[in-house]
């Protein structure tokens, strides 16, 4: 664990952009009167997304915004390793989990790649200023060890090869989809399912709803028939079963370019000059909303009308956010939002 202190070189000042300030007013409004300090973490996150790191003036601006003593905001900023207290790489700051499960599964090798390819020491900028790295404590993805965090994304089940590919992708502005990098489905068994294999459990009603969605609705190939009753483990070794490849279903695994014929209808500007609040889509923040606007996406019904290939086309233009559109099921969320439904927490519910 590193010592967390403010950087010796600090900027003169910090001010939230108009858009970020407006967004934070909405966040603050979630909390009861007098409890605006509860918004300290989102406010620091927004400050970091705006400047790339947390400076003393940013801490002071957050304290002023939330009517808190500076020291209390400083305590939060210095406690959580999610907050960067010094300038980080322009393209990525890589946080390598170095806690026991990740160590046992190869974190050491990931750290040596950081030292050899990026910078000799944590928090040092790479020669081109594009990258920096640090070692952090458990990020809660031990079952997919070893793993790293880049911004809001995690890259899991890494090997030297896939980690090098991640660095290459980040450098080229085309990182792989976040999540497991070995093709496994979230934290499902690497060799495929060995228990609860009765297809009736995954009929899309309750248990295993995600499987019905990701494996059948999103996969272009016809859905496989539901498996028969579970076979004894000895009669059907796990290794014979196909590994679910959700990333392939997302059109991300092979980096295949989706041709422009699948480009969805994009607008020059929002209808009647008023865009829908795309941040109500779970997983979409101010930065991603801006990228969508730049692409010509402004409305829920616009997204709701896309098909899978349209979504893939958009997804490939989302830089380091690639994979989110599928993971968070934007089409389904937007279909609900287009009907007038609103998430209970104002900032987007979990994917439907
Ligand atoms: S030990 Fe690395 S994510 Fe938990």
Q: Per the CATH hierarchy, to which homologous superfamily does domain 18-79 belong?
A: NADH-quinone oxidoreductase subunit E (1.10.10.1590)
pLDDT, tens digit (0-9, with 9 covering 90-100), for 150-173: 988 999 999 999 999 999 999 999
309: confidence class by pLDDT, cuts 50, 70, 90: confident
Query: Tokens 């008023």, residue?
Result: 274
pLDDT level of residue 2 (50, 70, 90 thresholds): low
C-alpha 224: how far from its chain's center? 30
Say which CATH topology domain 92-180 has: Glutaredoxin (3.40.30)
> What are the structural domain ranges in the chain?
18-79, 92-180, 260-337
- Give the pTM: 0.58
pLDDT in tens, 210-246: 444 443 333 333 334 444 444 333 333 333 333 333 3
Residue of 95, 96, 141 best suited for mutating to test ligand 1, as the one with most atoms within 8 Å of CB? 141
What distance in angstroms lies between residue 168's CA and the mean position of ligand 1's atoms?
A: 23
State the pLDDT confidence band at 323, using cuts at 50, 70 and 90: confident
201 vs 24 pLDDT, higher one: 24
Residue 102: both structure tokens together: 């990740």
For residue 107, give the ligand 1 atom closest to its CA: 2
Please give the backbone phi and psi of residue 176, each rounded to the nearest 5 degrees, phi first: -65, 165
Nearest ligand 1 atom to alpha carbon 138 = 4
CB-CB contact of 168 with 176 (8 Å): no
pLDDT at 237: 36
Ligand 1 centre to CA of 2 (Å) is: 17
Characterize the bridge pairing of strands 92-97 and 179-180: unpaired
Distance CA 289, CA 53 (A): 21
H-type helices in the chain, by residue range? 18-28, 40-51, 56-66, 70-79, 100-104, 107-113, 160-171, 209-211, 246-249, 286-295, 300-304, 308-315, 324-327, 330-338
Confidence of residue 344 (pLDDT cuts 50, 70, 90): low
Please give the distance, rounded to the nearest whole angstrom, from the Cα atom of residue 300 to the centre of ligand 1: 37
Q: Is the CB of 102 under 6 A from ligand 1?
A: yes
């Amino acid at each position: 664990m590193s010592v967390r202190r403010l950087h010796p070189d600090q900027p003169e000042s910090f001010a939230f952009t108009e858009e970020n300030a407006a967004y934070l007013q909405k966040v603050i409004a979630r909390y009861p009167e007098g409890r605006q300090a509860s918004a300290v973490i989102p406010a620091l996150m927004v400050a970091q997304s705006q400047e790339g790191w947390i400076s003393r003036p940013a801490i002071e601006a957050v304290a002023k915004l939330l009517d808190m003593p500076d020291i209390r905001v400083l305590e939060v900023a210095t406690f959580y390793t999610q907050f960067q207290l010094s300038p980080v790489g322009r393209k990525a700051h890589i946080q390598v989990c170095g806690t026991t499960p990740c160590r046992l599964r190869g974190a050491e090798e990931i750290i040596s790649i950081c030292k050899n390819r990026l910078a000799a020491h944590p928090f040092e900028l790479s020669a081109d200023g594009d990258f920096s790295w640090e070692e952090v404590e458990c990020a809660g993805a031990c079952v997919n060890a070893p793993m790293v965090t880049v911004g809001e994304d995690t890259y899991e089940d890494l090997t030297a090869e896939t980690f090098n590919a991640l660095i290459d992708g980040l450098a080229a502005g085309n990182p792989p989809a976040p999540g497991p990098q070995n093709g496994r489905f979230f934290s499902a068994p690497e060799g495929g399912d060995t228990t609860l294999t009765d297809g009736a459990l995954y009929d899309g009603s309750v248990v295993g709803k995600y499987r019905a969605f990701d494996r059948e609705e999103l996969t272009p190939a016809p859905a496989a028939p539901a498996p028969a009753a579970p076979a004894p483990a000895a009669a059907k070794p796990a290794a014979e079963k196909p590994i679910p490849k959700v990333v392939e279903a997302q059109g991300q695994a092979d980096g295949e370019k989706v041709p422009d014929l699948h480009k969805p209808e994009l607008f020059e500007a929002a209808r009647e000059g008023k865009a829908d609040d795309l941040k109500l889509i779970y997983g979409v923040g101010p930065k991603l909303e801006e990228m969508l606007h730049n692409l010509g996406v402004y409305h829920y019904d616009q997204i709701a009308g896309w098909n899978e290939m349209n979504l893939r086309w958009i997804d490939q233009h989302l830089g380091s956010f690639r994979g989110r559109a599928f993971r968070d099921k934007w089409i389904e969320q937007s279909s609900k939002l287009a009907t007038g439904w609103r998430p209970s927490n104002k900032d987007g519910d979990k994917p439907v």
